[in-house]
Structure 1
Amino acid sequence: MTDSDRIQRTPPLADQVYRGLRELMREHAFKPGERLVEANLARRLDVSRTPVREALSRLASDGLVEFQDGGVAVLRLTLEDVEEIFEIRRLLEPPAAAQVARSLGPQDNEAFRAALARAEAARSVIEFSEANIAFRGLWVSRIANRRLRKTLLRFDDQVSLVRRTTLVDPRARSVALDGLRRLATAFLAGDAGRAAAEMAEFVDSAFEFFEAAFPEDRP
């Protein structure tokens, strides 16, 4: 078989643009409510406007951008949005964490220890935010139910639009790190009940700091 006969496995350009824009959003390269102009994005990514348009449509399906006034803008979450997202997280994440704790084997221990060590070593808001996302990505990736996994990742992408803002508060980082330690202990012990309880506490603690990020929305 020659090189020309082999199936090309390079991701389509639209997929590459989609992943690139998602990563830029996670890095807070765009502000909530900021308009995304196809031509500007195409120049920034050095591509044509067609894959940018396709990527924006997918991001809209993910709930990360919204169409408004003939254009596209980064989603601007409200307190009501956050309340709804965390209500779903409270229902889904504790039993999911329990499932993960039951399924982990010795081969997973090093990955969880490394993820926790990364969070403990973080010395900036950006470093801790990235470590927090990595730890979450690790345990969510161990969820056997792919639809549940996809659902949690979808909401995670949405709250990532404001997560770094909440972690500017040193107390929020301290509380989050303590939660990661407790979760890691439960996962490493294979303790499903403790993992569920710690996840419920982790979600509730996170919500308090997210809620504080929307003072103008509170009655």
Structure 2
Amino acid sequence: MRASDLAYEGLRQDIIDWVLPPGSTLGEIETAERYRVSRTPVREALARLAAEGLVSTSGRTAIVTSLTRKDVLELFELREALETQAARLAARRRSPERFAELLEEFRRGPSSEGDADPRRPYFLASELDVAIDAACQSRYLQSALEDIRGQIARVRFHARSNPHREERAIEEHIQIVEAILSGDEMFASQVTAVHLRNSLANVLDSLPL
């Protein structure tokens, strides 16, 4: 893996995991030392993160972008527009095998082979995102979704404290997968919108905004 990719992956994950919370300053020298690369790969990584909206840059310093209530509301407005359309197209163009596998995984719940894994629902949610992106067969829509994935992951990481919401989210994901499998475009769009609105309410209750 290239040094710029190492720096990008490390920085991106630390931002998503809130190791680097909003407002953190990312000087080139300090960041290069942190990820054990030179300053040129750091500049390349910061440019990629700026394109995703995870950092803002000024000269040789970058700052992890804020995450205010307004930011979250605007992000979810865009998510709903993009993801409901993606779900609709996925229902129209899907290959059933992958979604049948995901349906079994979601129905299995947060335990894998008998061992509870608190991160499993979020892994499955990401897998569903990938499956829908592929099934919708729209490179422009996929590109727009990819641009906000980092922001979504950052919000999702800090919204894990409500076990009742986690259980409900699994049920909502099952509805989404079932709608796509059945080829019901309208229902796939509708249940995706409901899921996102419920997720937004949970996020606004749990994030330290």
Asked if these proteins are the same fold (TM beyond 0.5), I'd say: yes
Structure 2 alignment gaps of length 5 or more: none
Once residues 53 and 165 of structure 2 are traced to their aligned partners in structure 1, the CA distance between those partners, rounded to angstroms, is 26
TM-score of the pair, normalised by structure 1:
0.80
Once residues 52 and 119 of structure 1 are traced to their aligned partners in structure 2, the CA distance between those partners, rounded to angstroms, is 39
2:154 aligned residue (155, 161, 165): 161
Moved more, 138-147 or 171-180: 138-147
Once residues 200 and 119 of structure 2 are traced to their aligned partners in structure 1, the CA distance between those partners, rounded to angstroms, is 20
Residues paired across the two proteins, number: 206
TM-score of the pair, normalised by structure 2:
0.84
Which deviations, in whole Å up to 9, do the C-alpha atoms of 1:81-125 show, x marking residues without a partner? 111111122222212201101111233235423653676327354
Task: Please tell me the residue identity of whatever aligns with 2:147.
Answer: R
Which secondary structure does the structure 2 equivalent of 1:211 belong to? helix
Q: Which residue of 2 aligns with 1:3?
A: none
Moved more, 47-56 or 112-121: 112-121
Tell whether the 8 Å contact from 2:98 to 2:131 is kept in structure 1 after alignment: no
1:86 aligns with 2:86: no
Tell whether the 8 Å contact from 2:179 to 2:188 is kept in structure 1 after alignment: yes
Within 5 Å, give how 1:20-31 maps onto structure 2.
20-31=10-21
By how many angstroms is 1:140 displaced? 2.1
Sort the Cα spacing of 1:89 and 1:125 in 2 relative to 1 into closer, same or farther, 3 A.
same
Sort the Cα spacing of 1:109 and 1:136 in 2 relative to 1 into closer, same or farther, 3 A.
closer
Once residues 44 and 80 of structure 2 are traced to their aligned partners in structure 1, the CA distance between those partners, rounded to angstroms, is 33
RMSD: 2.6
Q: Which residue of 2 aligns with 1:113?
A: 103
Which secondary structure does the structure 2 equivalent of 1:153 belong to? helix
Tell whether the 8 Å contact from 2:16 to 2:151 is kept in structure 1 after alignment: no
Tell whether the 8 Å contact from 1:35 to 1:73 is kept in structure 2 after alignment: yes
1:50 aligned residue (22, 40, 44): 40
Tell whether the 8 Å contact from 1:129 to 1:167 is kept in structure 2 after alignment: no
Task: Please tell me the residue identity of whatever aligns with 2:178.
Answer: T
Within 5 Å, give how 1:117-132 maps onto structure 2.
120-121=110-111, 123-132=116-125
2:4 aligned residue (5, 14, 25): 14
Within 5 Å, give how 1:88-103 maps onto structure 2.
88-103=78-93
Moved more, 206-215 or 141-150: 206-215
Once residues 130 and 160 of structure 2 are traced to their aligned partners in structure 1, the CA distance between those partners, rounded to angstroms, is 18
Sort the Cα spacing of 1:134 and 1:33 in 2 relative to 1 into closer, same or farther, 3 A.
farther
Structure 1 alignment gaps of length 5 or more: 1-10
By how many angstroms is 1:20 displaced? 3.8
Greater C-alpha radius of gyration: 1
1:209 aligned residue (192, 202, 205): 202
Task: Please tell me the residue identity of whatever aligns with 2:150.
Answer: D
Which secondary structure does the structure 2 equivalent of 1:47 belong to? coil
Q: Which residue of 2 aligns with 1:7?
A: none
Q: Which residue of 2 aligns with 1:185?
A: 178
Once residues 116 and 46 of structure 1 are traced to their aligned partners in structure 2, the CA distance between those partners, rounded to angstroms, is 39
Tell whether the 8 Å contact from 1:125 to 1:167 is kept in structure 2 after alignment: no
Moved more, 130-139 or 106-115: 106-115
Task: Please tell me the residue identity of whatever aligns with 2:47.
Answer: S
